[in-house]
Amino acid sequence: MLRLLGGADLSIARLFEGHVNAIALVCRYGTPSQAERLAEDVAGGALSAVWGADDASGLKVVGDGAHTRLEGRKILASGAGFVTRPLVAAKSGDRQFMFLLRLATDHPVDLGGWTAQGMRSSATGTVELTGTSVGEAEAIGGADDFTRQPFFSGGAWRFCAAHLGAMERLVELYRDHLNSRGRGDDPYQLQRVAGCVAAVRTARFWVEEAARRFGDDEAGGEAIVGFANMTRMVTERCALDVIEAVQRGVGLAAFIRPSPLERIGRDLSTYLRQPAPDRAMSEAARAWLQSRTAVGEF
């Protein structure tokens, strides 16, 4: 699903990814009645999301008992203005907690700062949450469940799947372009086409295996996290190679609206920017160095 949505529209894929991530977290760490209430809202059309990113002050839990509330805001929150059941991460001291909120449809959001090159229609913005009451009903799981492994890093396969779908679409549009212009016999174009097909297929093998491990109860936590981190690195490299090859192979037409090549290139370049890619790559390398696993089994 994520791959197919990524091929159609990466902003929709981003919203869907956040929605299913929130539902998975509520199912994993929430109570059955919290999951049921969310399911009812979703059946009624509500959209969820995971809003984790913070500004320098961060979102905090303040007060206690019946007066516990949030102080601060969330930044880079996708679906701002559309999502009514977001799952937010907030700090109490140095521990992090999750709260599943219920926002009014007219809850104020600020999309003014979302001037990114791509992913414009993901409605990624800032949401002020100061004063929002939170209690047992909203709290999902316990301290630091949000970043509990292997689920936190292992779930990276989901955005990689969306990126993969966009890559596939770029390469198919490149084929259409070459065939319609009668440029498919050119050896340089053929070399680029071969590289693109190999890059897309490589990414797909990695993403499928990362997803398979994530869903495999027998797979060890380290194997899931290490593989997901490597998958991030491979998918990003493949996507950057595909974007470059398609833009060089199509030329200026790939930069002119309303060509889908223009939109997908812009959206994919933006959405590829995920948190701490260097750390993901180096942690995977370190995990393998410190293991005795045969490289072909890592």
Ligand X SMILES: Cc1cc2nc3c(=O)[nH]c(=O)nc-3n(C[C@H](O)[C@H](O)[C@H](O)COP(=O)(O)OP(=O)(O)OC[C@H]3O[C@@H](n4cnc5c(N)ncnc54)[C@H](O)[C@@H]3O)c2cc1C
- The contact set with ligand X (CB under 6 A) reads 14, 18, 49-53, 76-78, 119, 122, 124, 270-271, 273-278
Q: What single DSSP character describes residue 142?
A: S
Burial class (CB in 10 A: 0-12, 13-18, 19+), 283: middle
Q: Are 56 and 70 in contact (CB under 8 A)?
A: no
Q: Are 133 and 71 in contact (CB under 8 A)?
A: no
| Closer CB to ligand X, 167 or 178, in the complex | 167
Question: Minimum distance from CB of 224 to ligand X (Å)?
Answer: 20
| Closer CB to ligand X, 29 or 271, in the complex | 271
Q: Are 173 and 247 in contact (CB under 8 A)?
A: no
Burial class (CB in 10 A: 0-12, 13-18, 19+), 288: middle
| Closer CB to ligand X, 50 or 178, in the complex | 50
Exposure pattern of 51-89 as b/e (b: 16+ CB <10 Å)?
Answer: bbbbeeeebbbeeeeeebbbbbbbbbbbbbbebbbbbbb
Question: Minimum distance from CB of 102 to ligand X (Å)?
Answer: 17
Question: Minimum distance from CB of 298 to ligand X (Å)?
Answer: 21
- Rg of the chain's alpha carbons, rounded to an integer? 21
| Closer CB to ligand X, 160 or 178, in the complex | 160
Task: Please tell me the distance from the alpha carbon of residue 212 to that of residue 58, in angstroms, as a whole number.
Answer: 34
| Closer CB to ligand X, 18 or 226, in the complex | 18
Q: Are 267 and 165 in contact (CB under 8 A)?
A: no
Question: Minimum distance from CB of 116 to ligand X (Å)?
Answer: 7
Nearest Cα residue to 98 out of 59, 149, 56? 59
| Closer CB to ligand X, 146 or 214, in the complex | 146
| Closer CB to ligand X, 53 or 219, in the complex | 53
Question: Minimum distance from CB of 86 to ligand X (Å)?
Answer: 8
Question: Minimum distance from CB of 292 to ligand X (Å)?
Answer: 28
Task: Please tell me the distance from the alpha carbon of residue 128 to that of residue 104, in angstroms, as a whole number.
Answer: 13
Question: Minimum distance from CB of 1 to ligand X (Å)?
Answer: 18
